[in-house]
A and B are shown apart, each in its own frame.
Chain A
Amino acid sequence: DTGVSQDPRHKITKRGQNVTFRCDPISEHNRLYWYRQTLGQGPEFLTYFQNEAQLEKSRLLSDRFSAERPKGSFSTLEIQRTEQGDSAMYLCASSPGRRSSYEQYFGPGTRLTVT
């Protein structure tokens, strides 16, 4: 098992540009989560999927943010018209999502810097 992977690991973009991040969960994990972490803070929940269905979205997820998990495997998080306040670490996690195990395993994160 290779664990959760995220791509890219680092992204520098200019304000106003669009960016897209990818997350590949642990194989056969039904649930996939996105979190955002700013400096000195714990991660904050953004959204999560059960298979391909997006079950919950945080109020933090403005209209400029969209997440997809089209085939219930990998997921993408897109930010349109980036702002400096979007600079953060974007973390992806996955879990089996079964009654016996909801433990979430995190990827290495994508660090976004908006200049």
Chain B
Amino acid sequence: SQELEQSPQSLIVQEGKNLTINCTSSKTLYGLYWYKQKYGEGLIFLMMLQKGGEEKSHEKITAKLDEKKQQSSLHITASQPSHAGIYLCGADEFGKIIFGKGTRLHILP
């Protein structure tokens, strides 16, 4: 089955700085989700990408799916304390989502 690798596993960033999180798949992606999770809580839907080269933005967060549809990146511009949490990428596999292990983002004031 599909496997997703996220990098980095953990990230500490000064408030106001930009950052990028990567998600690499072992197979072609037919749907790629990005979610955010606060510690101990449910997942918040950020965006879903389906087409090669697709790019979507939500407030200061931009996600891209590469042309080959095997890699996605999530970029946060001018990070804020509210961006702290766990970012999860997930691959759509015939309706269900296969998740990566997540990237833990800490924002330093």
Instruction: Name the residue on A nearest B102 (C-beta).
Output: A42
Cβ–Cβ contact B88 & A104, under 8 A? no
The segment from A14-22, A61-69, A70-78, A105-113 found at the interface with B is A105-113
Q: Nearest-CB distance from B42 to chain A (Å)?
A: 4
A43 and B48 in contact, given A91-B42, A109-B41 (Cβ under 8 angstroms): no
- Interface residue tally of chain B, by bracket? 20 to 34
Secondary structure at the B interface, as helix, strand, loop or mixed, is strand
Partner of A102, one of B40, B41, B92, B102: B92
- Interface residue tally of chain A, by bracket? 20 to 34
Cβ–Cβ contact A108 & B33, under 8 A? no
Partner of B42, one of A42, A55, A109: A109
Q: Which of A60-99 contact B (CB under 8 A)?
A: 89, 91, 93
CB neighbours of B102 from chain A (8 A): 41-42
Cβ–Cβ contact B96 & A106, under 8 A? no
